[in-house]
Each structure stands twice: as structure tokens, then as C-alpha cells.
Amino acid sequence: MTQPTRPTRPAQQNRLPRTARRAVAAALAATALALLPPAPARADTIRAQQWALDAMHTDRAWRTTKGKGVTVAVLDTGVDGSHPDLEGRVLEGKDLIGFGAREGDRAWARHGTAMAGIIAGHGNGPGRADGVVGIAPEAKILPVRVILEGADPARKRSRSTRGHALAEGIRWAADHGADVINLSLGDDSKSAHPEAAEDAAVQYALAKGAVVVASAGNSGEEGDHISYPAAYPGVIAVAAVDSAGTHASFSTRRWYATVSAPGVDVIIADPDRRYYEGWGTSAASAFVSGAAALVRSAYPQLTPAQVKKLLADTARDAPEGGRDDARGHGFVDPAAALEAAGELRPADLRPTSAPYGEKFFGSGPDPEPEDDGPAGRLAPVAAGAGVLLLAAAVVLWRTGRVTGAHRLS
């Protein structure tokens, strides 16, 4: 199997060495926004640097589908539906925070817009040759605001008063037509723990037929702490790799990793109409949500569990032994997943269920006096709260504009 590849980039005077970019990212954690000196921009640089499109074999996948008919819920900081790369793709969503930055403010919808672009961006300009193209450019985005940007002064308040937003958002998305739910967020702090309401919401969404995808976490250099919602049962948890297919050092290594996807030097769109280069498992999660959208578009009868298995079984460059905690089953390949789904027999496409293990579901009829009766259903495992996981480093280019830098907390 070949390693994911990356097209050769043109020489650029405004590009920093990777070590410098990581230093910039660390500094921006405190400054929130900083601008680099102005530099000339080229009209073709954005598309040329979307190495993930080639690495994920989108040209092959798009021969089958580009995601038409599928709705991907983006549970995040909001999505700028007026962005040229997303115009016409963003549905009316839900704001479960209700305060904080608003449209037009700098601390609004930056992370969510970036994720939506990775999933369903369609480019802009003549022939849509400019801007960002997503993995499923004909899919629809359903924005659900469940968290605020790191630079939003109201974020601390939202954490203490809107802790239920993620669980509510998952259920709302499942009830409003989401075929895929992208969770490019999570809590991977030392104090992270499962929350019963969130786990129950994930299981509710899966039962409704929604594929749930989450970022594995960014604590690979800080203890590999378990991240929720990635660790909940049934979730497709996504680790990050670079353009050579190498595990990104920041990407959390844990048992729940399902597959890996691009998470380094990822081009992201921003409400300010500039384009930035980001890193993080948030981006990796969005890429896999786009891959899941392609599979669901072509094979809508597949269950979430079947989609998860397809993506895992067809992943490229599998680690020795078939999987490991760093990269899961390997690098996601939507084209291979689509081909494998096309070879499934009709019986393979029927929903499957595991045997309950008891005669009755629940307590059953009243037992005879000498019977104990079968046990009821076990309570779901608890599950956890969310903070954003994408760290954006060096700004790239807006056609004809200057450069800058920011970090999405």
C-alpha cells in the first residue's frame, strides 16, 4: 500500500519552517490573533496546497458521489453560511448557547466554519477554481452551536451554564435529519470524564441512523489523556497524521482510535475570507465525516456500525497487527470504502443487531413466584464534555490579500 501523498508546493516567501509554525501556534494561544508581515499572494495556492484531496483519493471517490443528499451536522462554534466556499450548502441550524459573539464579530464561528469547509466546501470564483473544496462538496451542513470560540469573552460563562449543550445538540441533530454528526471537539484534559447524558445522546443518534465522528484528542504530547466524546461506544474516533502518513505527535494515542486522517498543514477557510493552515484532530475528524458522507450518499441503507466497519476495513497503510492506538486501522480511504460497499451482498446491507442475551427485552412478564426473571437493560456508560481541538497555526493566502496568523482554541 502507498503512503498518502502531497503535491509539490510552489516556492513561497511567506511560509515558515514547521518548528517556527508550532512556536507561533503556542504564542497565539495567549495572543489569540497576530498578523505576519504582508506578502504577495498567488491565486492558485489554496487549491494546490489541499494535499488531503489527493491523499484521500477524492478523484476516485467523486466518480461515485460527491455527497449529494446527505446532511452533516457540525456541532461547533457556528458556521458562516455566507462564506463563498459554503454558500448554498448551510441549512438553518440551532444555537444552544444563546449568547456570546454574534455574526460579524471576530470571535464567531471560526472553528465551525473551518470544519464545515473541510467537509463540504465547494470552492468559489470562476469554475469554482479558488478557495477550499471539501471531501463531500455536495453535502449539506447543519450547524449546531454547542460551544464558543476560545477568544469569546463569554466562553467561561458558557462552560458553567451550558454544559448540557453538547448532549442536547447531538439529539437535536439526530432529530433534524443529520446523516452524519461531526464532533470536532472534546475534553482531553486530566480531569476529563464520561458524562451519562452525552453517552446516552450518542447512543440515541446512532439508533436513529446517524454516523457519529469525533476527534481523538490533541494530548499526544501531554499525557495521551482519554478524550470524550471520542471514547464513547459506537463513535468513529479519528487520529491525525501528516502528509507522509506519519502519526502526528500531538494526536492522542488511545484504544478508541478507529482511523486516521489529515491533521497537519490543513487548509481551512475563515469567516474573515482568508485561508489558514491548521493542525489538530479536529480537522482529521472533519475529513472522516466527509468520507462517511460519501459512503452514506451512495449507500444510505448502511447502518452507522456498518459505515464504521467499512472505513476501518478499507483504511490504507494499516499498522502492524491491523491497528494501533496511534493511527487506528490506518489512513481513511473513502474511494476504497465505496468500492467495498458496492461489492457487499444484499444480505450484508441489511441492518444487523446483536442478540440481547435474554428472553425478553426489559423485565418481561411478571415471573412465577419461583422465578427471578431476567435482568433489565444495563444503564449506558457515562460520557464527557467538550472543548475545541483544532489548533490553527500560520495563515495562508486570500487571493490578492496579505497574510496573517491565528489560533482557534
CA distance 235 to 166: 15
Residue 401 three-state SS:
coil
CA angle 214, 215, 221 (to 5 degrees): 155
Residue 198 three-state SS:
helix
Is the distance from CB of 22 to CB of 373 less than 8 angstroms? Answer: no
CA distance 66 to 138: 5
Measuring CA to CA, which residue among 394, 72, 75 is closest to residue 264? 394
Q: What is the DSSP letter of 365?
A: S
* C-alpha cell recorded at residue 289: 465525516
Is the distance from CB of 130 to CB of 206 less than 8 angstroms? Answer: no
* C-alpha cell recorded at residue 407: 489560533
* Site of grid cell 444555537: 95
In degrees to the nearest 10, what's the CA dihedral of 19, 21, 24, 25? -100
Integer angstrom CA distances of residue 339 from 64, 134, 300:
9, 20, 15
* C-alpha cell recorded at residue 348: 450484508
Which positions are catalytic?
76, 111, 282
Integer angstrom CA distances of residue 171 from 206, 338, 383:
10, 28, 14
Measuring CA to CA, which residue among 243, 208, 237, 275 is closest to residue 46? 275
